[in-house]
Structure 1
């Protein structure tokens, strides 16, 4: 005779699990299920099935998202960057005038004076740290004073001559004149003949023995000048009469390639008269400082602090 098939608690537990979840489940079915659970094997099988089902139904734990790491810019790196930009700005401020001079057709170094004869027969005398561009090809001879000071001896050849100084134009009608650029203004001195300064809609005629100063916005009134003192720099002398102290300091310091920083701004307006040696600017500066009770301090060979 065939062997009797033993009941399988796990299979029966699966059947009961399915039947109990049907819509037609009634009290009689629930009572039959309770009677079936009286057997410990059946109860354990169903409990295991229920636990497995609960595990399947439980939501997956939400894994915390990794926090976005904010990259903080290092303070050290920031300060180094700022320091680098500062150094670049200082170098540009110190060396830009020299680079600008070197890019010009005619130029001189600090402390150097030079005379150049042009193709039209005119002669240019360049002061220390000066730079010019020259164009003699057109019907109007064009000169451009970029930096410093120049003394012109003009050869009249039937063509007009103009000198450009920033936005100002100087029309030359004479044979000898001098142009200079300073930190806050420009200057024209006519020694022979005439010249006209044109700036925007303004114009000023300057006769021999007169000087005029002008800026980027205005032309000042003409003044009488001492022609001998005006071009004394060509002989290595700086002769001034009632000129601002800061202007004289800048001229002397420029001869040794330095820029002036005057700590007392009011002292810069003092009027100075005297005769100074441009070939020995350091001695001339000490003489001037002693007369006006100033102390001079050189910084890195580029700056001269006066206080």
Structure 2
């Protein structure tokens, strides 16, 4: 169920139409609905801006090499070109995760958690701002976690199951597990059964009650997991027990669609404990900042600066 109600947003709806119209199954009824949606000037303007931005990201067609001519360019032109490239890069940095989610088969919005039952009987719960692709057609069932976090209750039907996370593969031998993607690493928590993480030529077997973190180059040693803490997000809470403050801030900021920017990196290593409400991330952040004597500043709604 959604954690909060969002007001109609032309930019958000434009992104959803952009993704839908490019799907192979888009039919004439959906195209007519899109035409009706574009009757409102603000909707048409939002979609036109998105199309312009998308065209700018496409590679230019190959052209014959022209004769080299020496042209004197003004410093003003160079600065304008540089500013344009910086703006384009910033827009791609901010909106690429959202476009990546909308292009995925299953996804949730910021602040939303959703449970889905797959065709084979497997149930998955997606956390806020998460995305997955699913392929159950072959002898090995394949899941691909693109963003965020997922809790899986696997239905054993005689076929193998693998979860792809970045360059790593997780072979599932149990029934309940949790997989998460973080900015610096990925994480597997096994609640019941077993699972094996395979990364290149390295692998780790993880049993019930254990967790392991990994990235594109290595798999860390297996550790004991605090299952109550790891699984509390499904009930709308972040239960931290001696957790790095940076992780708590990052989690709460992410639940309101913001990226964390710490002005003092030493703050990230402080240890905190507490029960934080994920359905009210702003109030939880303010309470935590007051307890830790920190100042919070939201920048353009996309960044949360902590001083």
Query: TM-score, normalising length from structure 1?
Result: 0.76
Q: Could you tell me how far apart the structure 2 residues matched to 1:97 and 1:144 are?
A: 15
Counterpart Cα distance in 2 of 1:174 and 1:147 = 22
Q: Secondary structure at the match of 1:279?
A: coil
Structure 1 SS opposite 2:162: strand
CA distance in 1, matches of 2:296, 2:152: 34
Whose Rg is larger? 1
Aligned twin of 1:294: 294
Structure 2 unmatched runs, 5+: 1-69
Unaligned runs of 5+ in 1: 1-69
Q: Give, in angstroms, the shift of residue 269 of structure 1.
A: 1.5
Once the two structures are superposed, residues 105-143 of structure 1 have per-residue CA deviations (whole angstroms, 9 ceiling, x without a partner) of 000111010111000000110000000000000000000
In the alignment, structure 1 residue 185 sits paired with structure 2 residue 185: yes
> What SS class does the counterpart of residue 231 from structure 1 fall into?
helix
Paired with 1:200 and 1:139, the residues of 2 have a C-alpha distance of 23
Shift of 1:71: 5.3
- How far is the alpha carbon of 1:201 from its aligned partner? 1.1
Tell me which residue corresponds to 1:203. Answer: 203
Moved more, 100-109 or 240-249: 240-249
Cα displacement string for residues 38-58 of structure 1 (whole angstroms, at most 9, x for unaligned residues): xxxxxxxxxxxxxxxxxxxxx
Matched residues in 1 for 2:111 and 2:120: separation?
A: 28
Task: Give 1:225 shift.
Answer: 1.6
Q: Is 1:270 matched up with 2:270?
A: yes
Deviates more, 1:180-189 or 1:227-236: 227-236
- Correspondence for 2:134: 134
Distance 1:204 1:293 in 2: 41
Question: Is 1:239 aligned with 2:239?
Answer: yes
Q: Distance in 1 between matches of 2:72 and 2:170?
A: 58
The corresponding residue for 2:78 is 78
Matched, 1:303 2:290: no
Q: d(CA) in 2 for partners of 1:160 and 1:296? A: 47
> Following the alignment from structure 1 to structure 2, what is the Cα–Cα distance between the partners of residues 154 and 205?
18
Instruction: Tell whether 2:219 aligns with 1:219.
Output: yes
| 2:95 is aligned with 1:103 | no
Q: Which moved more, 1:238-247 or 1:153-162?
A: 238-247
Displacement after TM superposition at 1:298 (Å): 0.3
In 2, the alpha carbon distance for the partners of 1:185 and 1:291 equals 28
- 3-state DSSP class of the match of 2:120? coil
Aligned to 1:155: 155
Moved more, 115-124 or 228-237: 228-237
Question: In 1, Cα distance between the equivalents of 2:225 and 2:236?
Answer: 19
> CA-atom RMSD, angstroms?
1.1
Matched residue SS, 1:183: coil
